[in-house]
Amino acid sequence: MLKNWIHKIALSCEQATLLMELQENQQTTAIQNIRLKLHLIICKYCKIYSKKMKLMNQFFRSKSPKNSYDIDKIETLKERIKQNFK
């Protein structure tokens, strides 16, 4: 019951995944980072997603020259991966 209460106060999984994407591009505030960390402590599924997302982003950054990767292709791939986890 406590986890459900904290989960509702902290973030929903949908909000957490959005913040993970924003955090990867350094577009989050300190408060958002704290709320995301709290959510990741509670939600094992988002923690797994976060690790996989970071690995994917690292891979794409290492395989392409700086600022020349196709963002649309990356976003399409991320969406396909998200659909597989639903």
Q: Where are the domains of the chain?
A: 2-85
| One-character DSSP codes across 9-78 | HH--HHHHHHHHHHHHTT---HHHHHHHHHHHHH-HHHHHHHHHHHHHHHHHHHHS-TT-S-HHHHHHHH
In tens, the pLDDT along 1-10 reads 666 666 566 6
Q: For the segment 50-86, what is each residue's pLDDT rounded down to a tens digit?
A: 999 989 888 887 876 665 567 778 888 888 888 877 6
* pTM of the complete model: 0.61
* More confidently predicted of 31 and 2: 31
Nearest to 11 by CA among 54, 51, 46, 49: 46
How far is it, in rounded angstroms, from Cα 57 to Cα 34? Answer: 22
Question: How far from the centroid of its chain's Cα atoms is residue 60's Cα?
Answer: 15
